[in-house]
Amino acid sequence: MPASRIYDHSLLPHGKTQQEVSLSVMTLLYQEMIQRLYKQSDSIEHFQSKLNDVGYRLGVNVLELLNYRASVPVSIISKAKDLGNTMSNSNTVITNNSTSNAPTTSSNASTLSNFIDEFNSLGKDIPRMKRRDLQIIDILQFIHGTVWSYLFGHVSSDLVKAQGNETEYRIIDNEPQWTQFISGARNQLHYESCNYMLCGVIQGFLKESGFPCDVSAHWQPSDEQPQRIVFLIQFHQQVVAREQLRYSRA
Amino acid sequence: MPQYFAIVGNNDCPLYETEFHGVNGKDTMPQSLKELNPFILHSSLDIIEDLQWQLQPNNRSMLSGQENNGSSLLRGSGPGGVLAGFEAGGSNLASGFLRSTSASFNNVSLGPSSSNVNNTSSSNAATQQLLKNDNCYLSRVDHFYGHVVTAYITYSGLKLVMVHCNVNGVADGTNSNNNNNSSNSNSNTFNDSNNQVMVTGSGLVSVDDAKCKKFYQEVHELYVKTLLNPFYKLGNSIDNPEFNTRVHLIANKHLRAR
């Protein structure tokens, strides 16, 4: 039985630069997934919840991974980046020399494995973990900033609190990346439904960190941004009650 | 000292549990304690959930001496003055029935033996510095007849909990338990008082916060890696043998090097 390799990889991004997925591949995958789920569903709500479930798991992963990465000190991250550079360089060296120079390649490999061991386990080098977000505004800002940057390479367009309603918040994306080739003008409900994967990401992120909520997507086009999507986050009453009970200055 | 370690998921369902012993049969756990451990751990979950939502979970009486002293220290801590006042207010607000448990814990932990008092006071400043602003590692959350419970909460609300077993105290307790085994449950109260006397004699298990924290952080990392496995279903028990091996390696590294 092959030994499990999942624990041998570092949690930091490996490689030289930020890893990116080609947009055409991503959108192809996304539309195939939507087609498949759509065929399996008997109503639009059913379809939305299926797509939501796919995103939910992604949200949990992102929650743990990004927070853990945020705990790693900058010095280690830069070292790991250097390591990524040397690794990719020496990999080419190894393939070039593999036939002629066996001893050097093995020594190369051993030092490499030492390096890799060092960055495999980050936990021992973290002096202080990032604080868990306890308040609504903190965790929403993390989604608005860090999560959006990780997924799409930019922060979300806006983060708004609904007026006169303690439980409602909105995250606005002017140019939703995953659904940019789907037209909202043709069928508004279908376009909104296709964005439910990202709703699932937000919901999974918030719910698993102790902020149960419902998230829905709404198409609110403007002249400049015909694709503009508003993610409406409705926290359950308990979240707001806890916030007032625990953190308000009475 | 042996430890009992468990990962408790979001719906209070255990994902993983194990025991750490010393090598060569040293530090083994008596059978009676093995059966008791899950209950000790479970009883501390409420306290952990209360601490989970406190802004300064580590600023507790048991870590900073007297409760009053603790909050005044916090207020005087310079730059964070405004915030500190806010937090102190918050903790006052939040202090429910669970706070009283930890207050009594304080008395117990400082009471038993003079050597124990010296230990806590000397390492107090370092510990305070270590735990300041950390709300993942909760340090000691509870105790049960000399066994100390430490806890750690991950970003998705997973609870890593460990019972540090007080073998000396319990070894005697086991004997008395065995002696009274034949008698019915009415004698439980008697047993309890018996244990208490013993514990005040031997004191609580001491826990090295720095090492314990590293242990939790590394296990947390292992969990994140497990989570990133697309075949791992959220909330399922973690039965990967590799995970088990690594957790034990980490435990050997941090908890056995005394």
Sheet strand arrangement including A158-161: A158-161, A168-173, A229-235, A213-219
Return the higher-pLDDT residue of A2 and B27: B27
In the prediction, which pLDDT does A211 show? 94
Residue B19 belongs to a domain: yes
In the prediction, which pLDDT does B58 show? 76
CB-closest option in B52, B94, B220 to A123: B220
State the nearest Cα–Cα gap between A69 and chain B, in angstroms.
10
Give the residue among B129, B199, B154, B128 at the shortest CA–CA distance from B48: B154
Does the beta carbon of A7 lie under 8 angstroms from any beta carbon of chain B? Answer: yes
Q: Which amino acid is at A168?
A: E
In the prediction, which pLDDT does A113 show? 58
Other CB atoms within a 10 A radius of the CB of residue A250 amount to 8
In the prediction, which pLDDT does B140 show? 85
Does the beta carbon of A240 lie under 8 angstroms from any beta carbon of chain B? Answer: no
Residues of chain B in contact with residue A147, where contact means CB-CB under 8 angstroms, are none
Residue B24 belongs to a domain: yes
Name residue A171's beta-bridge partners. A159, A231
Average confidence (pLDDT) over B221-249: 90
Residues of chain B in contact with residue A136, where contact means CB-CB under 8 angstroms, are none
Measured distance CA(A230)–CA(A209) in Å, rounded: 22
Contact B217 A123 (CB under 8 A): yes
Residues of chain A in contact with residue B220, where contact means CB-CB under 8 angstroms, are 68, 123, 129
Helices B67-75 and B81-94, interaxial angle, to 10°? 150
CA dihedral B223, B254, B127, B195 (to 10 degrees): 100
Return the higher-pLDDT residue of A129 and B27: A129
Measured distance CA(A88)–CA(A19) in Å, rounded: 14
Interface size A-B, in CB pairs within 8 Å, comes to: 97
CB-closest option in A11, A126, A132 to B155: A132
Return the higher-pLDDT residue of A224 and B63: A224
In the prediction, which pLDDT does B10 show? 85
Does the pLDDT at position B187 exceed 90?
A: no
Q: Is the dihedral of CA B133, B138, B140, B142 positive or negative?
A: positive
Structural domain boundaries enclosing B111:
3-205
**Length of chain A, please?**
250
CB-closest option in B135, B224, B234 to A11: B224
Average confidence (pLDDT) over A129-150: 92
pLDDT band at A114, cuts 50/70/90? Answer: low
In the prediction, which pLDDT does A115 show? 55
pLDDT band at B31, cuts 50/70/90? Answer: confident
Does the pLDDT at position B202 exceed 50?
A: no
Query: Taking the complete model, does pTM exceed 0.80, yes or no?
Result: no
Residue B212 belongs to a domain: no
Contact A3 B52 (CB under 8 A): no
Other CB atoms within a 10 A radius of the CB of residue A20 amount to 8
Average confidence (pLDDT) over A169-193: 88
In the prediction, which pLDDT does B66 show? 34
Task: Answer left, alpha or beta for residue B8, where phi above 0 means left and psi between -120 and 50 means alpha.
Answer: beta
In the prediction, which pLDDT does A64 show? 93
In the prediction, which pLDDT does B65 show? 38
pLDDT band at B185, cuts 50/70/90? Answer: very low
Contact B133 A131 (CB under 8 A): yes
Give the residue among A214, A243, A216, A211 at the shortest CA–CA distance from A230: A216
Residue B210 belongs to a domain: no
Give Dmax over CA atoms of chain A in angstroms: 76
Residue B134 belongs to a domain: yes
Residues of chain B in contact with residue A9, where contact means CB-CB under 8 angstroms, are 225
Residues of chain A in contact with residue B221, where contact means CB-CB under 8 angstroms, are 11, 68, 121-123
CA dihedral A229, A234, A239, A243 (to 10 degrees): 60
Q: Return the residue of B nearest to A239 by Cα.
A: B53
Average confidence (pLDDT) over B82-88: 35
Residues of chain A in contact with residue B211, where contact means CB-CB under 8 angstroms, are none
In the prediction, which pLDDT does B180 show? 38
pLDDT band at B33, cuts 50/70/90? Answer: confident
Measured distance CA(B231)–CA(A61) in Å, rounded: 13
DSSP annotation of B146 reads: T
Strands B3-8 and B14-20: antiparallel
| Stretch 114-173 of chain A: residues touching chain B, C-beta under 8 Å | 121-124, 126, 128-132, 134
C-beta of residue B94 within 8 angstroms of C-beta of residue A245: yes
Q: Which two tokens stand for residue B51?
A: 């601490």
ipTM: 0.83
SS3 (DSSP) at A32: helix
Average confidence (pLDDT) over A159-173: 91
Measured distance CA(B176)–CA(B51) in Å, rounded: 35
C-beta of residue A247 within 8 angstroms of C-beta of residue A231: no
Measured distance CA(A41)–CA(B258) in Å, rounded: 59
Does the beta carbon of A57 lie under 8 angstroms from any beta carbon of chain B? Answer: yes
Average confidence (pLDDT) over A51-71: 93
State the nearest Cα–Cα gap between B167 and chain A, in angstroms.
28
Cα angle A23-A28-A29, degrees, rounded to a multiple of 5: 100
In 3-state terms chain A splits into helix, strand, coil percentages (rounded to 5) of 55, 10, 35
CA-derived radius of gyration, chain A = 22
Measured distance CA(A148)–CA(A229) in Å, rounded: 14
In the prediction, which pLDDT does B89 show? 36
In the prediction, which pLDDT does B12 show? 86
Does the pLDDT at position A168 exceed 70?
A: yes
Does the pLDDT at position B214 exceed 60?
A: yes
State the nearest Cα–Cα gap between A93 and chain B, in angstroms.
30
In the prediction, which pLDDT does A15 show? 57
Average confidence (pLDDT) over A167-194: 88
CB-closest option in A63, A123, A242 to B155: A63
C-beta of residue B150 within 8 angstroms of C-beta of residue B212: yes
Contact A64 B225 (CB under 8 A): no
Chain B interface test: which of A69, A121, A203 (most B C-beta within 10 Å): A121
Return the higher-pLDDT residue of B45 and A101: B45
Residue B252 belongs to a domain: no
Return the higher-pLDDT residue of B67 and A38: A38
SS3 (DSSP) at A209: coil
Average confidence (pLDDT) over A144-169: 90
CA dihedral B26, B31, B32, B35 (to 10 degrees): 110
Q: Which two tokens stand for residue B101?
A: 């448990």
Helical (H) or strand (E) element with A95: helix A74-97
Residue B257 belongs to a domain: no
Task: Answer left, alpha or beta for residue B27, where phi above 0 means left and psi between -120 and 50 means alpha.
Answer: left
Name the burial class of residue A174, with classes exposed (0-12), middle (13-18) and buried (19+) by CB atoms within 10 angstroms of its CB. middle
Return the higher-pLDDT residue of B40 and B200: B40
Average confidence (pLDDT) over A134-154: 92
CB-closest option in B10, B86, B221 to A208: B10
Measured distance CA(A32)–CA(A14) in Å, rounded: 29
Measured distance CA(A109)–CA(A116) in Å, rounded: 10
Residue B226 belongs to a domain: no
In the prediction, which pLDDT does B166 show? 78
Measured distance CA(B185)–CA(B189) in Å, rounded: 9
Number of domains in chain B: 1
Does the pLDDT at position B71 exceed 70?
A: no
Average confidence (pLDDT) over B66-91: 34
